[in-house]
Structure formats: structure tokens, C-alpha cells
Structure 1
């Protein structure tokens, strides 16, 4: 598992990318999907996940839907129309960042 220091700055783009396919997801589902896709190398704690989700909701990037399951309420998150632009920007930024890191850590992997 990667350290919290290493993954801290990448959590927002990861969350947005997961939600970018249009499906709504609830918080625990997001954290479990990240664990599954990364073969448990990235673990998003509740303390890291929910502040990001609330911030994105406040900014209008995400909208929520409450679903009642028995006596419990599950809050689903979905990308808004304006949020799709933010996802495109963050995806471009993270891809550029990965290319930049490659210049330092794996310069032999770059095509010239």
C-alpha cells in the first residue's frame, strides 16, 4: 500500500475519474472500487474521502441523491453537467503530471 503522503494529491482526480462514467456511487463503494482497481495499493480512508466529496458537491461538480435503505440513508454522488468539464481538466492535468514524472524516474521509457 502506498503512503498517505504519496497518494494525498491524487485522490481528487481518482474520485472524479471513477464517477466520470456517469454512474452514481456512494462513498464506501468509491473507496472499495479504488482498492479493487489498484490491487489494494491505494486505500482511501473515510477521513480523506468525505471532505473531498463534500468539497466537490459544494463546488457544483457533484450532486447527491439520498436513498433510504430500511432505516439507513445512503448518499449517492454523481457528476453534474458542469462537473464534466472539471473532470476533463483534472484528467489532462494528471496525465501531464505522469508524463513529467516519467522524465525524472523513467526517462528511458519516453519515445523520442
Structure 2
């Protein structure tokens, strides 16, 4: 994962699963390149997910039963479309709650005199 304007990928490592599940839940089935472009678009080009991060994450989601895959022939190519499962939707909610609490806690530690305005 490459993050523009940030020196480290550490801040986003733990959120890739949440991001992927959110996009699949909101957009239905999507293929890998489509997911990377959507993240790029939504982040104003600040988050660029590389294949080396994306596909291992998708394979993990698949093996955990959080997404399913449909293979479609597109011309001479095979495209894999990923979609969220019921279990994935439940996990997404848990991840949202966990991320929200984490952000609030970090804000409280790092910026104790500011109110949480983004959650």
C-alpha cells in the first residue's frame, strides 16, 4: 500500500479490511482494479493500494468467508468479482465500531483539548 503525503503505511495497515468491506457493501460486486480506483478517488489520490496489498487482503477475506468471488469472462480475460457475504456485513459493523472507538481514543490522547468532530 502506498500512501501519498504520509511517511508510513502503518496508519492504514489495519484499516484495509474495513475499507474493502465498506466498498463492497456499498457498491455490490467489484473487481480488484475497480476497488483500487475507488479508494484512490474517495481519498483524493492520497491512498493508492497496490496489488501486493490488495490481493492478499481479498484472499484473506475470501478464506474467512467475508466475501465471495464470481469469475466472469470478459473478452479473452477472466475477471474476478468480489462481493460481501452476510458474515462480511456483520464483520464490517464490528470493524466500524472498533475503528470509531480507536479514532476517539487516539484523538483523546493526541488532541485532548479538541472535540471529536469527525465521528
SS of 2:83's equivalent in the other structure is strand
Comparing both structures, which one devotes a greater share of its residues to helix? Answer: 1
| Number of equivalent positions | 111
Supply the RMSD in Å over aligned alpha carbons. 1.4
Give the drift of 1:22.
Answer: 5.2
Shift of 1:81: 1.3
Q: Which runs of 5+ in 2 are unaligned?
A: none
Q: 1:88 aligns with which of 85, 93, 100?
A: 93
Paired residue secondary structure (1:76) = strand
Deviation string 1:17-60 (CA, Å, 9 cap, x unpaired) is 11122511111111111011011111111000100100000111
> Is residue 112 of structure 2 the alignment partner of residue 107 of structure 1?
yes
Q: 1:23 is matched with which residue?
A: 28
1:52 has 2:54 as partner:
no
